[in-house]
Amino acid sequence: MNINEILEDLYGLDPALRSEEAELKEIIKKLLEKKPEAEADEDFKERLKNELLAEVEQRRKRTGFFIIHRKMIVRAAGIAAAVIVVLTFALQPGLLSSILSPNRMTATEMADSTVGLEALEPEMHEAEPAAGLTIEQPTESRDDSAAQQKKPAEAAEAAEPAAQKVETSKEESVYRSAVTPGEVPAQGLSAPAPREEVQPMLKRSLEKSMVYEAEDKTAAWGEGAELLAGVADTVADEQPDTFNEEYREIVENDFIKAALEPVSTFSIDVDTASYSNIRRYINSGMLPHPDAVRIEELINYFTYDYRQPDGDVPFSITTELSDCPWNSSNRLLHIGLQGFEVEPDELPPTNLVFLLDSSGSMQDDNKLPLLKDSMSLLIDTLRPEDRVSIVAYAGSAGLVLPPTAGNRKRTILAAIDRIEAGGSTAGGAGIDLAYRTAAENYFTEGNNRVILATDGDFNVGQSSEEELRTMIEQRRDQGIYLTVLGLGMGNYKDARMEALADNGNGNYAYIDTLNEANKVLITELSSTLLTIAKDVKIQIDFNEEAVDSYRLIGYENRLMAAEDFSNDKKDAGEIGAGHSVTALYEIIPARTGMQAAELAEIRFRYKNPDEDQSQLIVSTIENIPVQGSKVTDNFMFSAAVAEWGMLLRGSDYAANFDIRQIIKRASAARGPDPYGYRAEFLELLEKTDDLLK
């Protein structure tokens, strides 16, 4: 039997173990290589299980934190049981088939029944099985002698102190995201190790809840104990809200000498997912993963008081230069774009295909149930000329609702209500079916859009990631755009969803509350559904007589080569009706160029939604800083949001930041706040201050 066959048996025990595939493969590989000569009797396996649980408990005692979610303990038990199955096979291959009997339990139930986990958490044995699985109790086959019954009792007694330390609500969690994998000597297993570049101010908060050491493990007895110890360390150090979340690495932009590289080019971005995702972290009492912080998305979460466009250009351009709030010797350049407004009743007919993730990972209250409520808000705004289809995907993709007129709201809502979470996630098949459905009902003179709602934890089935990207790009070129709505926590796959939205000429938002759903799907409906300009690029050509160095704040994932600016085959960002886009540059003035009349030349390229050839706009930015009371709220508020983002990222440029000054500046520049978004930001600043103390 090879590694893949063993993995399939493990997934049969507990489908959730698929998320641990890489680690399990490594463990299986090493065990199969060793195959030590030992008798895998019940006593030996019992000691292995108890050793794993003891390691979990000892790790928790050493770190001094006991805020561990019930699901964490269940997951630890699941991995323990899975590793025992693998180890049993490695020690005595013939036993595997007897363990995987037709009346088998889930891995969690195996651990519950044999290790005495009830002592760790009284309610744990009531955990729900994975959706779509039928669990039967196994027939009794073990000898119920007093000697064998004694072992679970001893394990329960040893674990009894832990029962008093895991009584905590689902909302409580700890932060351990600011670590990178480190190698455990002689084993090759990944284990947590500190990130050296984390700033001191961030470390003060992390020290309360993060494991900084990765201690070497030695085998107390038997081959394979080292491997189990490595798994125990990894499981114990994780916590629910960041257990398996994935973010694309961000390397912060540095200052660039204008004399060496005067041109800066990037694609615009109107995504807002990073802001609401960070809000989820902070409201849960922890700092976000540094790579979850995309500063441009924080800034662009808010609208600004920019003038409406006039003439044939679909957006206006605003620039403002003033002293940098966090470094008075530098300047800050503020650039704003504003798309023209369209009233909801003036939108052309809309062909919407909802692509809903209904896999087992979506059953939590902040996933599919929240998604259903969010969709109800949008359905209420649809008109008779609009069309709605619904595709759901789990083990397989299916058309839940064929194209239906927007005024048949009861029919649409009933279809939504019937969707339940269960099964694995065949995301590739779902995306393919959604795009085919949109193409079959294409509105030539209307909006055509797929709205994908997921936690991102899906496989692409028979299609590779590259094939999936190619398909989305092809549909994009045919006029079918993509909106991605992220939900949930714990297994959240931010990097994948951001890439899908980028490839699909779409936007990406994160729904953490019903209020956020209202913002994305109702308040900003026009900008979400109607694209007014695509492939929008910005290029700044700095005057080296006025600028010594410059640094683009954020947009690290949107940088472009200078030659790509004029290349119409290079994809860039989109602007929707009513969208505003804001970008900031920190500038070190040239010593001899303070009186230079021109700071930079600014260029824009964009395409109309139904065209393939771009149009060029060129303008000049004067080297005249705005001073005192003439500095706008737009400038000061966006700067405060950028400071907050740099602080959360542990930026090299945030070492001397004072969050109380950030709060003061943001409060003074709050301005009109009809929906309360800026007031909420001020509350997040206060909570951030508490977390950094």
The three-state (H, E, C) secondary structure of 311-364, written as one string: CCCCEEEEEEEEEECCEEEEEEEEEEEEECCCCHHHCCCEEEEEEEECCHHHCC
Residue 517 lies in a domain: no
Residue 506 lies in a domain: no
* 683 shares a domain with 561: yes
Q: Which two tokens stand for residue 517?
A: 């759903």
Question: How far apart are alpha carbons 268 and 461 in whole angstroms?
Answer: 32
Decide the pairing of beta strands 327-339 and 598-607: unpaired
Residue 513 lies in a domain: no
Stated pTM of the model:
0.67
Contact 562, 539 (CB under 8 A): yes
* 616 shares a domain with 566: yes
* 16 shares a domain with 133: yes
Residue 525 lies in a domain: no
CB atoms inside a 10 Å sphere around CB 344: 13
Nearest to 642 by CA among 555, 530, 514: 555
E-strand ranges in 394-480 read 397-405, 447-454
Decide the pairing of beta strands 531-542 and 598-607: antiparallel
Question: How far apart are alpha carbons 152 and 50 in whole angstroms?
Answer: 9
Q: Phi, psi (5° rounding) for residue 254?
A: -105, 170
* 262 shares a domain with 405: no
Residue 662 lies in a domain: yes
Question: How far apart are alpha carbons 325 and 584 in whole angstroms?
Answer: 12
Structural domains counted in the chain: 3
Quick one: pLDDT at residue 75? 45
Quick one: pLDDT at residue 72? 39
Beta-ladder partners of 387: 351, 405
Residue 474: give its domain's CATH number: 3.40.50.410
Question: How far apart are alpha carbons 353 and 391 in whole angstroms?
Answer: 7
Question: How far apart are alpha carbons 15 and 414 in whole angstroms?
Answer: 30
Q: Which domain covers residue 68, as residue numbers?
A: 3-242
Domain boundary residue among 216, 242, 268?
Answer: 242
Greatest CA separation for the chain: 93
Residue 553 lies in a domain: yes
Question: How far apart are alpha carbons 399 and 316 in whole angstroms?
Answer: 41
Contact 355, 391 (CB under 8 A): yes
Question: How far apart are alpha carbons 567 and 552 in whole angstroms?
Answer: 22
Question: How far apart are alpha carbons 485 and 492 in whole angstroms?
Answer: 12
Could you report the average pLDDT of every consecutive run of 10 residues in the chain (693 residues)?
64 60 65 51 52 45 33 44 52 41 37 34 34 33 38 39 33 29 28 34 34 28 36 36 76 97 95 96 94 97 94 93 96 97 88 88 85 89 94 78 95 90 70 91 92 79 68 85 89 86 87 92 85 95 96 97 96 92 97 82 95 95 94 98 97 92 97 95 97 89
Residue 82 lies in a domain: yes
* 164 shares a domain with 132: yes
Cα distances (Å, whole numbers) of residue 183 to 177, 193, 231, 684: 17, 9, 13, 36
* 606 shares a domain with 683: yes
* 367 shares a domain with 318: no
